[in-house]
């Protein structure tokens, strides 16, 4: 009798499985495909000047999941750029961790395959926050903080200004304090990677036409539009930063006014070298250019803070990919119950119907699995990667339940344990 309820649930899943495949076969021709907009952009790009240009791709951040995301970066960023007659140079400024060796291993392999050229790779320790001074700021003239340290004043001001965790505290070791140090560290490595590009230009006497900042923990499932398409749309394209039209970190429907403030997706951006350099130097202007923190609106998350910095402080125009082109990607975490952002993510990453959202999500899972298998067969790739057991079983159960009940279960749920483990 105890197992009667789970058996009934299993029967329901089996019936749902049959219905799912039937529904999928019936909607193959009628379900909207987000990639349609990309195909239109590709055709428009063919009308533009096909002169070869050089593009700098910035990679900064920890390499914890890079051995499972690099395949999607090659297929949807590097290769489309190469096919559109762009020469791709990659610059890496990343925090040292147990997986940072994968950057040079994988990128040198891709360079040997003539997919890209390596501009420079720098791996550094995370910059620590400057220790508290016994002197109060403003009492006497103090020396400028060292460049490899996060200035204490900058850290303390941002703890109060940022909107990270409700009730997370404001002390150095509080939840908000720890995350503030992490945010400033991310901004530090953005500055470092831009410095690498600038030095490369000076040494080799070249100038990059476009700069693309792509986080290494994103799983991309759609091809990047040819940058020349934006040249055709905007006469002042070189002075703009282009971002995807979702994930702005704000909600226009929220009753809380601070949550309605405009933001910008912080995981991917592209643009001309002048505008992108201003974006990547945000750390300097927050911590070394004497910004009056009173001018920064309170309770802003990183997406909103970045948009404010660009539009209000640096006078950089922010434009978005056209509406038909969501340019979807999912963040891949490590040591998480469900590493890949699930299709029930709020707000939804795409406005497509539920079945199409499932297909997009399944595409991301497939490329992660395929990339992990490829990495294992290449030298030392994949060392220390945690296994996600019963992945296929978990996907099948969650996908069917999500399709009919709009509920996406996590792998540690009782149903998953019963079906996929016992």
Domain count, the chain: 2
Q: What is the pLDDT of residue 272?
A: 92
Cα dist. 375→241, 341, 363 in Å?
33, 22, 18
Element (H, E) at 37: helix 36-45
- 277 with 394, same domain: the answer is no
Compute the distance between CA of residue 23 and CA of residue 26 in angstroms, rounded to an integer. Answer: 5
- 139 with 268, same domain: the answer is yes
Compute the distance between CA of residue 73 and CA of residue 404 in angstroms, rounded to an integer. Answer: 32
- 359 with 283, same domain: the answer is no
Cα dist. 283→192, 200, 294 in Å?
10, 21, 17
Looking at the DSSP assignment, which residues form a beta bridge with residue 120?
91
- 25 with 153, same domain: the answer is no
Over the stretch 68-127, which tens digit does the pLDDT of each residue have? 999 999 999 999 999 999 999 999 999 999 899 999 999 999 999 999 999 999 999 999
Q: What is the pLDDT of residue 300?
A: 85
- 238 with 379, same domain: the answer is no
- 202 with 258, same domain: the answer is yes
Name the domain boundary from 320, 351, 386.
320
Name the burial class of residue 128, with classes exposed (0-12), middle (13-18) and buried (19+) by CB atoms within 10 angstroms of its CB.
Answer: exposed
- 295 with 163, same domain: the answer is yes
- 116 with 245, same domain: the answer is yes
Count of other CB atoms within 10 angstroms of residue 99:
20
Name the domain boundary from 252, 285, 320.
320
Domain assignment present for residue 346? The answer is yes
Domain assignment present for residue 43? The answer is no
User: What's CA 325's distance to the chain center, in Å?
Assistant: 17
- Spell out, as residue ranges, where the chain has pLDDT lower than 50: 1-3, 10, 18, 20-49, 134-145, 380-389
- 111 with 16, same domain: the answer is no
Domain assignment present for residue 305? The answer is yes
* Lookup: tokens for 167: 């009730």
Q: What is the pLDDT of residue 37?
A: 40
- 296 with 375, same domain: the answer is no
Q: φ and ψ at 332, to 5 degrees?
A: -110, 115
Compute the distance between CA of residue 283 and CA of residue 280 in angstroms, rounded to an integer. Answer: 8
Q: What is the pLDDT of residue 351?
A: 60
Q: Which CATH number is 315's domain given?
A: 3.90.550
User: What's CA 337's distance to the chain center, in Å?
Assistant: 19
- 117 with 145, same domain: the answer is yes
- 201 with 75, same domain: the answer is yes
Compute the distance between CA of residue 280 and CA of residue 282 in angstroms, rounded to an integer. Answer: 6
Domain assignment present for residue 328? The answer is no
Domain assignment present for residue 166? The answer is yes
Task: State the residue range of the domain holding 225.
Answer: 52-320
Contact assessment for residue 154 and residue 283, using Cβ atoms and an 8 Å cutoff: no
Residues, the chain, total?
Answer: 422
* Residue owning tokens 């460049």: 147
Q: What is the pLDDT of residue 400?
A: 66
For residue 53, give the DSSP letter: E
Q: What is the pLDDT of residue 413?
A: 61
């Amino acid at each position: 009798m105890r197992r009667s309820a789970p058996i009934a649930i299993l029967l329901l899943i089996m019936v749902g499985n049959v219905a799912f495949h039937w529904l999928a076969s019936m909607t193959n021709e009628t379900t909207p495909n987000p990639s349609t907009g990309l195909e239109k952009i590709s055709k428009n790009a063919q009308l533009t000047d096909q002169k070869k240009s050089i593009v700098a791709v910035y990679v900064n951040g920890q390499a914890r999941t890079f051995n499972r995301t690099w395949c999607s970066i090659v297929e949807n960023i590097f290769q489309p750029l190469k096919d559109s007659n762009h020469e791709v140079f990659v610059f890496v400024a990343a925090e040292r961790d147990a997986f940072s060796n994968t950057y040079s291993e994988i990128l040198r392999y891709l360079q040997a395959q003539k997919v890209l050229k390596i501009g420079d790779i720098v791996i550094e320790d995370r910059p620590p926050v400057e220790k508290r001074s016994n002197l109060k700021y403003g009492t006497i003239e103090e020396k400028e903080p060292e460049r490899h340290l996060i200035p204490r004043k900058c850290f303390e001001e941002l703890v109060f200004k940022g909107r990270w965790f409700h009730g997370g505290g404001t002390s150095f070791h509080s939840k908000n304090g720890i995350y503030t140090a992490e945010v400033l560290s991310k901004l530090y490595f953005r500055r470092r990677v831009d410095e690498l590009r600038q030095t490369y230009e000076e040494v080799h006497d070249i100038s990059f036409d476009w700069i693309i900042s792509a986080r290494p923990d994103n799983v991309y499932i759609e091809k990047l539009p040819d940058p020349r398409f934006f040249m055709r749309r905007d006469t002042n394209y070189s002075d703009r930063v282009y971002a995807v039209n979702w994930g702005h970190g704000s909600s226009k429907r929220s009753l809380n006014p601070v949550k309605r403030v405009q933001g910008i997706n912080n995981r991917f951006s592209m643009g001309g070298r002048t505008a992108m350099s201003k974006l990547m130097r945000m750390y300097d202007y927050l911590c070394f250019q004497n910004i009056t923190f009173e001018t920064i609106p309170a309770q802003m998350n990183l997406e909103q803070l970045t948009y404010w910095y660009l539009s209000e402080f640096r006078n950089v125009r922010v434009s978005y990919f056209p509406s038909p082109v969501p340019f979807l990607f999912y963040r891949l975490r490590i040591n998480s119950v469900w590493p890949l952002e699930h299709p029930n993510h709020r707000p939804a990453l795409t406005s497509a119907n539920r079945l199409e959202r499932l297909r997009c999500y399944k595409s991301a899972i497939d490329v992660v699995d395929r990339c992990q298998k490829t990495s294992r067969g290449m030298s030392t790739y994949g060392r220390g990667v945690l296994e996600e057991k019963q992945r296929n079983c978990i996907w099948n159960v969650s996908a069917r339940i999500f399709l009919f009940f709009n509920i996406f279960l996590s792998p540690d749920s009782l149903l998953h344990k019963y079906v996929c483990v016992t």
